Amino acid sequence: MELIKDLWRICRSDRSAMIGGAVVLLYVIIAVIGPYVAHVGTQQNPGDAYLGPSLAHPLGTDFIGQDVLTELIVGTRPVIEVGLCSALIVVTVGVIVGLLTGYIGGLIDSLVMRVTDIFLTIPGLPLVIVIASVIHSSSPFVLAVILSVTAWAGLARAVRSQALSLRSADFIDAARVQGLPLRTMIGRQLLPNVGPYVAINFLLAITGAIYAEVGLFILGIAPISGTNWGIMINLGMNQGALYTTKSMLYLFSPMAAIVVLQVSLVFFARALDRLFNPRLRVQ
Amino acid sequence: MIAYIAKRLLSALITIYVVVTLSFYMVRLMPGNPIAFLEAELEQQGGVPPDQIQQQVRAIFGVQPHGPLWLQYLQYVGNIFRGNFGNSALNPGVSVLSIIAAALPWTILVVGVALFVSFLIGIVVGTLMASYPDSRFAKIATGVVSLLSSIPNYLVAIVLIYVLADQMHLFPVSAAYSNATTPGVNLPFILSVLYHAILPIAAYTIVSFGGWALAMKGSVTTILGADYVRAAESKGLGPRRVTQSYIGRNAMLPMVTNLALSLGYLFGGSVFIEFYFGYPGIGYRLIDAVDSRDYSLMMGCFLLITIAVVFANLFVDLLYPLVDPRIVSPAARRQRADTSPTLEEKVHA
Amino acid sequence: MGTAARSGGPILEVDDLTVSFGTIRAVDSVSLAVQAGEVYAVVGESGCGKSTLAYSILDIVPPPGAVTSGEIRYSGRSLQGMSRRALNHLRAAEVAMVFQAAMNSFNPVLTIGRQVEHELEAHPGVFASEREGREYFDHLIGLVRLSPELVWSAYESRLSGGMKQRVAIAMALLLRPSVLVLDEPTTALDVLSQRLVIDILRDLHATLGVTIIFITHDLAVVAELADRVAVMYAGRLVEVGELDEIFYGTGRHPYVAALLSAIPSVTGDASAIRPIAGQVPNLAELPPGCRFEPRCPLARPVCHQVDPPLLSDEGGHAVACHVVNEGTARPGVGA
């Protein structure tokens, strides 16, 4: 409840936060209700290809005559599903690894940190591409897992340093003296303190996942099933959309959708950062 | 100091080793084991005796296909360290190494220049944003920069291609240099190379300079409030001196650590950028290999990208003590600088 | 020694100075005078305004603080009217300051020597050559009992807190200022380093004859070093006088008396500790009369209504208390 009140407070004072948050919310709503209100038809009318914007087709049509706006709406859910799922995995793994190693310390800490460092150094995108090309699965969950394979490392490191600094904090000592079990220490004492940081990184993880997954779809590496923004761009480019001006709307609509979502997420995350980091507000 | 270098070097080597091992297992764990797949393909083609099939497979993948696993592993690792990444499955007889060696310089050219340019622009913009925090410029710049760095780089690439290359024909659509020129150290070639490199570099830079700007802004702002800056001013040091040696040098330190991170990012992004621009760098080759199911080439590209990033990180790590003297252990020489008698000496005097 | 040698008058005069942060007066109508060559201590608890007073002497009060009334005169020249250049020269070359937590006043990426060179560059008139400057610095480093070669090439991360404090003192004396201001010189140090710094300051004062003004809340340090003491409370001066008068004399301000009796004696037993009841007033909500009145054991009705002026006797011992000054027709304010 406190969190909601706080959120409302920032949104009211910070314009960009409000807009960002509203846009993200809009996308989420579309993602949820999209497939129920819009259907991509199965008939193909090549004759209607690349029509300009009209009342029937506010964003025109694609290369086989289907309505672009519909495709956009329907295509929202898969993208957000995978993005959200991947971000959840990243945050869960990152936080658990970070908190545990930061708090326990010792040999386990050094060992796990070595592994984390390796994952941190390996360039994520090429690895994701290699794995995705090999594992042909259209399950969004599998895709989400693949996308998370290196992204958790950065968060784990950051959470660990927070946990380390908290470990020597007085209230932790007090809790320890009371004999609280590890579970409580982490859940009740440490977690709320790294909470805000994690929330912000959660949003940023979503942007990272969307960046990677759409990229994969455009390249045609992730298998094509159904409609989503990346696939729209992929199909468009394969059909030579780059070479005609008529296809502009078809090509740019999903791009705009992606950019608007990414920017909104980033602005909202930044507003959260300003909320939790009062130092920044003074600037 | 030696310990620091050794530790970093060891870390880099271990990372590479782990990645090599990872790639070994990936090939084998893939659904539709590519080695078996290739064997089957060759058999199907017919007309090739079994031991020649084995030979070809072996040349392509670099390992004895049916030997015990640990033997294959050792062969694989040994091959890698000797630079043998196998042969391209699609172009038998052409070694992966030769393909990669031809592709890598292009990637380094574009990524290197892009890093340099975006670093420069970012630092300047960031410093200005921090020095005049309430100005109109700062507010607009913050917005623009946040916007630009949230856009996926491949989208920027597509827009650039679409607008500048396809529609306005201002820039070439693909390739690293024009076929009309002959490779070599001659002016037409060099110009052609630069001409073809501009768009890809622009694509990287547009998206990355924002990150640098924001990082620099944060860094400068923190340093501006530091005690030693105020102390320097209170001693009457001139503004130029203070900006250069007290603010500037300290603000740059975190930027150096970011260099390594940024390089990893840029190399990763090269898979997208090079593909869209038809630019024959290592990212392009990777995607190409994926598309044509050329697994040995794909692995080779991936390995090389990773190795390049690891070494770049190592390089920055080794560079860092030169700019930040705090890294080297401070405790050892402390005692000798103090000439006043220690407690023991006083007590026993 | 500094260019402004003894001219007879006090080397530093603070005349009815008020420094405000918005509506809050961190320093409220403070007047005092420091004679050349003496060791002058400004004492008070945290937040009483003593650090702000020190900053204003060099005109480096951090914004949003600003001097809103009064004047500071250095050898007769008013700080408030000085040009930018003159002010620049004043700082470091005539009045040098050693900040609290001097350990943070060093640039972490430059050697100490490099930073000394910067200072010499910025004030070219003081030494005939850079070599001379370096030699004098080495001499000063020796006076603060450190090794010149190792300090010159060291980075601040290699020096301990106590060592950095001493280097900071040496650096402050580099341009041969007439006045050295130290803000809490011993507070951040361990006991052994404190002893060292006190001894060093005493030696420096004897050797160089520099006027020393130091700010502290540690009465023990005051007892060791000071010639004269000024006590501040909630932005006001409540007592000024010679060391002996304050510590051992009679006619003390109740606050000062309470402070002194709150110090546990090395020989006494624990029951003798008497803390001062109550709290320092909130500067935004000051009581109408004497600021110490809510906590004062001698308080009378007049104390609640009228703020006591700082009145001085012939010897220069001044107290701001109705009760202490009662009956005495002391001439106006002064130090």
Across the interface, which of B30, B31, B286 has its CB nearest the CB of A129? Answer: B286
Instruction: Say if the Cβ atoms of B236 and C118 lie within 8 Å.
Output: no
Least confident of A17-31, A131-145, B162-176, B220-234: B162-176
The mean predicted confidence, pLDDT, of chain B is 79
Beta bridge partners of C214: C41, C182
Is the CB of residue A203 less than 8 Å from the CB of residue A254? no
The bridge status of strand C236-242 relative to strand C228-233 is antiparallel
Q: Do A258 and B11 touch (CB under 8 A)?
A: no
Measure in Å the smallest separation between the Cα of B7 and chain C Cα atoms: 22
Chains near A (3 or more Cβ pairs under 8 Å):
B
3-state secondary structure of B70: helix
Concatenating the DSSP letter of every residue in A219-242 gives HT-SPP-S--HHHHHHHHHHTTGG
Q: A16, A23, A125: best mutation site toward chain B, by most B Cβ within 10 Å?
A: A125
Q: Shortest Cα distance from A262 to chain B (angstroms)?
A: 6
pLDDT, position A42: 63
CB C126 within 8 A of CB B235: no
Averaged pLDDT of chain A: 79
What is the CB neighbour count within 10 angstroms for residue B3?
A: 9
Residue of A nearest to B151 (CA): A259
CB contact under 8 A, A262 and B151: yes
The alpha-carbon gap from A104 to the nearest alpha carbon of chain B, in Å, equals 23
At residue B346 the predicted structure's pLDDT band, cuts being 50, 70 and 90, is: very low
Sign of CA dihedral C106, C112, C118, C122: positive
Of C155, C160, C163, the CB nearest to B326: C155
Report yes or no: B213 at the A interface, CB cutoff 8 Å: no
Phi, psi of B47 (to 5 degrees): 80, 5
Closest-CA distance of chain C to residue B31, Å: 54
Q: Does B250 touch chain C (CB under 8 A)?
A: yes
Q: Please give the residue that has the higher pLDDT: either C327 or A248.
A: A248
pLDDT (mean) for A153-176: 79
**Per-residue confidence (pLDDT) for residue B90, from 0 to 100:** 67
Is A251 touching B (CB cutoff 8 A)?
A: yes
CA distances from C103 to A158, B211, B236, B327, C186 (A): 28, 33, 19, 18, 12
Identity of the residue in C108, C119, C158 whose CB atom sits nearest the CB atom of B235: C119
Decide if C192 and B343 are in contact by the 8 Å CB cutoff.
Answer: yes
Q: In the block, which residue shows the tokens 């008070």? A: C44
pLDDT tens-digit readout, C225-246 = 999 999 998 888 888 989 888 8
Q: B234: which chain C residues are within 8 Å (Cβ-Cβ)?
A: 58, 60, 91-92, 97
CA separation, residue B319 to residues A86, B121, B124, B257, B323 (Å): 35, 22, 22, 10, 7
Cα gap A257→A263, rounded to integer Å: 10
- Length of chain B equals 349
More confident residue, B96 or A262: A262
Q: What is the pLDDT of residue C1?
A: 39
Name the neighbours of B, counting chains with at least 3 Cβ pairs within 8 A. Answer: A, C
Q: How far apart are CA C243 and CA C225, in angstroms?
A: 9
Q: Do chains B and A touch (3 or more CB pairs under 8 A)?
A: yes
Query: Best interface-test mutation with A: which of B265, B271, B305 has the largest number of A CBs within 10 A?
Result: B271
Residue A80, pLDDT above cutoff 50: yes
E strands in chain C = 12-21, 24-34, 39-43, 65-74, 77-78, 95-98, 179-183, 211-216, 228-233, 236-242, 311-312, 318-319
CA atoms in the 13 A half-sphere facing the CB of A246:
11
The pLDDT, as a whole number, for residue C138 is: 94
Distance separating alpha carbons of residues C284 and B347, to the nearest angstrom? 51
User: Tens digit of pLDDT for each residue in B15-71?
Assistant: 888 888 888 877 776 665 666 667 776 677 666 677 777 777 776 776 666 667 777
CA-nearest residue of chain C to B246? C107
Distance of CA B183 to the CA centre of its chain: 26
- Measured in residues, chain C has a length of 335
E-strand ranges in C114-186 read 179-183
% of chain B residues with pLDDT over 90: 9
Partner B contacted by A127 (CB < 8 A):
yes
Q: What is the DSSP letter of C3?
A: S
* A263 touches B at CB < 8 Å: yes
Packing angle, helices A76-104 and A15-37, rounded to 10? 130
Tell me whether residues C110 and B245 touch, CB distance under 8 A: yes
Give A258's contacts in chain B (Cβ within 8 Å).
Answer: 152, 155
- Of the residues C58, C90, C118, C140, the best mutation for testing chain B's interface (the one with the most B CB atoms within 10 Å of its CB) is C118
The pLDDT of residue B341:
41
Q: CA-nearest residue of chain C to B329? A: C158
Under an 8 A CB cutoff, do B227 and C160 touch? no
H or E segment and range at residue A121: helix A106-121
Distance from CA of A75 to the nearest CA of B (A): 17
Instruction: Categorize the per-residue pLDDT at B331 as very low, low, confident or very high, splitting at 50, 70 and 90.
Output: very low
C150 contact residues in B (CB cutoff 8 A): 333, 336-337
Q: How far is C136 from chain B (nearest CA, A)?
A: 17
Task: With an 8 Å CB cutoff and a minimum of 3 pairs, decide whether chains A and C touch.
Answer: no
For C250-287, write each residue's pLDDT tens digit. 778 888 888 887 777 666 666 666 677 777 778 777 77
Separation CA C31–CA B27 (nearest Å): 84
Q: Is the peptide bond before C64 cis (omega within 30 degrees of 0)?
A: yes
pLDDT band, residue B82 (cuts 50/70/90): confident
Asked if B219 and B237 touch (Cβ cutoff 8 Å), the reply is: no
Q: Which of B224, B233, B235 to mutate: most C Cβ within 10 Å?
A: B235
Sort out which chain A residues have CB atoms less than 8 A from B131's CB and list them. Answer: none
Task: Return d(Cα B167, Cα B173) in angstroms, integer.
Answer: 11
Strand order in the sheet with C24-34: C24-34, C12-21, C65-74, C77-78
Cα separation, A21 vs A15, whole angstroms: 10
Distance, CA of B94 to CA of B304 (rounded, Å): 17
Q: What is the pLDDT of residue C328?
A: 58
Confidence (pLDDT) at A209: 92
B242 burial via Cβ count (<10 Å: 0-12, 13-18, 19+): buried
Among chain A residues, the shortest Cα distance to B307 is held by A122
Q: Looking at CA atoms only, how far is residue B179 from chain C in angstroms?
A: 51
**Chain B partners within 8 Å of C154 (Cβ):** 333, 337
What is the model's pTM? 0.78
Decide if pLDDT at B72 tops 50.
yes
Looking at the DSSP bridge assignments, the partners of residue C229 are C41, C241
Inter-chain touch A263–B267, beta carbons under 8 Å: no
CB contact under 8 Å between B159 and A237, yes or no, is: no
Closest-CA residue of A relative to B260 is: A121
- pLDDT at residue B121, rounded to an integer: 94
Q: Do A251 and B269 touch (CB under 8 A)?
A: no
Task: Give percent of chain A above pLDDT 70.
Answer: 78
Which residues of chain B from 251 to 290 reach within 8 Å of chain A, CB to CB? 264-265, 267-269, 271-272, 275, 283, 286-287, 290
What's C214's DSSP letter?
E
Give pLDDT, residue C182.
Answer: 92
Distance in Å, alpha carbon of C99 to nearest chain B alpha carbon: 8
Q: B 19-78 residues with CB below 8 A of A?
A: 19, 26, 30-31
pLDDT for B345: 39
CB of B211 less than 8 A from some CB of A: no
Eight-state DSSP code of residue C212 = E
Contacts with A230 from chain B: Cβ below 8 Å:
none
Mean pLDDT of residues grouped by 10 in chain C (335 residues)? 54 89 86 90 85 84 81 87 81 85 86 92 87 93 91 89 90 91 87 89 90 90 91 88 84 81 69 70 80 82 82 80 70 49
Nearest-CB residue to B290 (from A133, A237, A255): A133
Closest approach of B317 to chain C, Cα-based (Å): 17
pLDDT at B343 over 60: no
How far is the C-alpha of B296 from the C-alpha of B61, rounded, in Å?
Answer: 6
With beta carbons less than 8 A apart as the criterion, state whether A213 and A230 touch: yes
Contact C145 B340 (CB under 8 A): yes
Chains touching C (3+ CB pairs < 8 Å) = B
CA of C72 vs chain B CAs: smallest distance (Å)? 17
ipTM of predicted assembly, 2 dp: 0.81
